[in-house]
Structure 1
Amino acid sequence: MDKLKAMTTFVAIVDHGSMSAAAEQLSRSPAAVVRSLAELEKQLGVRLLNRSTRRLALTDEGRDYLQHCRQILADIDAAEFQLDSRRANPAGKLAITAPIMFGRLHIAPVLTQWLQQHPSMSAELTLLDRTVDLIEEGFDLALRIGWLADSSLVAKPVGAVKWVLCASPTLLESLQLKYGAIKQPDQLSQLPTLGFAAAGNQWQFNEHGRDLSVPVNPLFTCNQIDTLLQACRDGLGIIRVLSYQAQRDFERGTLVPLFPDFGPAPLPVQFVMPHNRLVSPRVRSFLRSATEPLQQRLTTVETTLSACSISL
């Protein structure tokens, strides 16, 4: 027996004064209403209503039970109303994580705008260049770049980014004077390079459909992209980064992207969340607000890359 449905039926009978009136109000048959009341009384072990051909009258037990039913049903209505309200106007705290540079450049501005539009919300943005366990570490949402190895996550794509080589104009001039035209990625082994500590010393390319791995020997390695980008601006060497990481340098002309025709397949950029969780109103609201602006931002990154790309 559906206890809440039976309670609702009992209250409707009392409020409308008859089985038939309650049945009409609930869009049920009179027989179903009579059966529901009988099953409820049988389970409770008491009579709730004294019934005659002319009238219904509450018993003492029925009067007490009616008060509890009204309170329980009112509490349920209040809870559902609050959830409906939060769906329209989410409240609480959103916990989100993203890679350090992507989060600083792209997630933080979008998150700030969303918070301004939802004053009842707060947010905690944790920037980490490592993969986190969303459930274990208490995150609602994560921004990830790359293909997902974890099938227990649900992904919401927002775009893609590419690996790109770049160097300062000053370094390019000196390399051309020293080596002449450089047309193939495998020539990188004789050029000065800078390395991101977590990326290793094998740079991947795709040459006319053929995967190519080029060994490099970086003269400077660091675990922070910002530091490497500055060294690259200073002309120390060629760096391999994701397109969004060097976008501002491309726009300002402080760095130039190289070998645009040899890049490997783009990497997906996506929000991820555990598939075994219901999507909360705050997560749903943020995704709805953030997806289109991030798509536009990543499209701008690729447009900038295409406009600035040259070959040595």
Structure 2
Amino acid sequence: MDRWQAMRIFAKVAEMESFADTARHMHMSAPAVTRAVAALEDLIGARLFVRTTRSVKMTEAGTRYFEDCRRILADIAEAEAAAGGSYATPTGTLAITASALFGQMYVLPIVTEFLNTFPTMHARTLFIDRPVNIVEEGVDVAVRIGHLRDSGFSAIKVGTVRHVICGSPSYFESHGVPTTPADLKNHRIAASTSAWASPEWRFANDQRVMIDPILQCNTNEAVITAARAGWGLTRVLHYQIGPALIAGELQIVLSDYEEPPMPIHILHPQGRHAPAKVRAFVDMAAAHLRENRLLN
């Protein structure tokens, strides 16, 4: 029995929870898949699956063995890739994730430049405002805003973002400029329900203000549009209004009362064994994000 091949078959059955689907996926006969798993069980001396007419589930021993198999198979694939040169030259498809607006505004231009620099590469982006499991969703690189939990991934800090209060010059001319957080109660507020579900806005030194937004929108883009039009004030992450700040369409107020900024990190799970495509993109992204004055 080819143990490496048997481990590959077992891992695929575990992922697909089906002997028949595994057989089709690996272009094998169903009996061949069954024999390979049975031989592996005989070799190990433990049942790896509980099989019924409707389902295939791993046993406790199978679950432990599956984790070891994935690690061993990944090490083998890494060794083969290194020998074949893919760790020297970017190849294949790169998957990148970031929050929706940050990804569109700041990460996508880096991705397109990366593809121009390495024309044989492909890229897949997942710009979405929800936590993404990097390993389970097959992501190579993530750009994350906020303080990180200990994940064991490689993390490179590339900038910071601030929570800011902003409005248009025309609004301030008509309604005045708030000088303390308490003054917000005297102003029209547009709030994004997607980013600020709580009516409590927090500031430095644990100051808190309960706001009563007259306008609530489900996207940050909408409240920014309202603020640019001179309707009222809103609170967003400062990178989201970068173009409007540069154009003079919005101004930040109460900056002396802001909470400490949140860090921006680039994450990837491979560490020092990362393939060339990951290393090249991380280097390019880190350089561009660190040079962006709106993120520092």
Question: TM-score surpassing 0.5?
Answer: yes
Residue 216 of structure 1 pairs with residue 211 of structure 2: yes
| 2:233 is equivalent to residue 235 of structure 1 | no
Aligned-pair distance for 1:108?
Answer: 0.8
The separation in 2 between residues aligned to 1:185 and 1:78, in whole angstroms, is: 59
% of aligned pairs identical?
Answer: 33
Letter in 2 for 1:203: W
Distance 1:79 1:115 in 2: 21
Displacement of 1:157 in angstroms is: 1.0
Aligned ranges 1:237-256 → 2 under 5 Å: 237-256=232-251
Deviation, 1:150, is 4.7
What CA distance in whole angstroms lies between the structure 1 residues aligned with 2:257 and 2:118? Answer: 44
Q: Structure 1 residues 301 and 204 mapped into 2: Cα distance closer, same or farther (>3 Å)?
A: same
Deviation at 1:232, TM superposition (A): 0.9
Q: State the shift of 1:156 in Å.
A: 1.4
Give the distance between the partners of 1:291 and 1:217, measured in 2 at CA: 39
1:202 matched to which residue of 2?
200
Whether the 8 Å CA contact 2:163–2:259 is kept in 1: the answer is yes
Structure 2: gaps (5+ residues): 1-78
Deviations 1:20-58 (A, max 9, x none): xxxxxxxxxxxxxxxxxxxxxxxxxxxxxxxxxxxxxxx
Question: What is the Cα deviation at residue 275 of structure 1?
Answer: 6.4
Establish whether residue 301 from structure 1 lines up as the match of residue 294 from structure 2.
Answer: yes
Tell me the TM-score normalized by structure 2: 0.68
1:136-215 aligned at under 5 Å gives the runs: 136-176=136-176, 182-197=178-193, 198-199=195-196, 200-206=198-204, 210-215=205-210
Runs of 4+ in 1 over 6 A off after TM superposition: none
> 1:1-312, aligned counterparts within 5 Å?
80-83=82-85, 86-176=86-176, 182-197=178-193, 198-199=195-196, 200-206=198-204, 210-274=205-269, 278-297=273-292, 300-301=293-294
Structure 1 residues 255 and 80, CA gap change in structure 2 (3 angstroms): closer
Larger Rg: 1
| Preserved contact between residue 163 and residue 238 of structure 2 (Cα < 8 Å) | yes
State the 1:102 CA deviation. Answer: 1.0
Residue 88 of structure 1 aligns to a residue whose secondary structure is coil
- Segments of structure 1 that go 5 or more residues without pairing to the other structure are 1-76, 304-312
The answer to whether the 8 A contact 1:98-1:127 is kept is yes
Take 1:230 and 1:274, find their aligned partners in 2: how far apart are those partners? 37
Aligned length: 216
Question: CA–CA distance in 1 between the matches of 2:253 and 2:142?
Answer: 31
Q: 1:204 to 1:80 in 2, by over 3 A?
A: closer
| Partner secondary structure for residue 135 of structure 1 | coil
Q: Distance in 2 between matches of 1:80 and 1:151?
A: 25
> 1:217: Cα distance to partner?
1.2
Q: Secondary structure at the match of 2:87?
A: helix
Is the CA contact (8 Å cut-off) linking 1:161 and 1:268 kept in structure 2? Answer: yes
Distance between the aligned counterparts of 1:145 and 1:239, measured in 2?
A: 20
Q: 1:275 to 1:81 in 2, by over 3 A?
A: closer
Matched-pair contact (CA < 8 Å) for 2:178–2:254:
no
Question: Which has the larger helix fraction?
Answer: 1
Aligned partners of 1:152 and 1:275 also within 8 Å = no
Q: Write the deviation string for residues 58-88 of structure 1: whole angstroms up to 9, x where unpaired.
A: xxxxxxxxxxxxxxxxxxx9864423xx233
Structure 1 residue 140: Cα displacement: 1.2
Alpha-carbon offset, residue 203 of structure 1:
1.3
SS of equivalent to 2:235: strand
- Alpha carbons 2:162, 2:258 under 8 Å: kept: yes
The letter for the 1-side match of 2:278 is: V
- C-alpha distance in structure 2 between counterparts of 1:240 and 1:230, whole Å: 12
Structure-1 separation of matches of 2:178 and 2:116:
50
Return the letter of the residue paired with 2:89: N
d(CA) in 1 for partners of 2:126, 2:80: 34
Q: Distance in 2 between matches of 1:93 and 1:129?
A: 23
Letter in 2 for 1:145: I
* Displacement of 1:194: 1.2
Within 2, Cα distance between the matches of 1:271 and 1:212?
31
Per the normalisation by structure 1, the TM-score is 0.64
1:152 to partner: Cα distance: 3.9
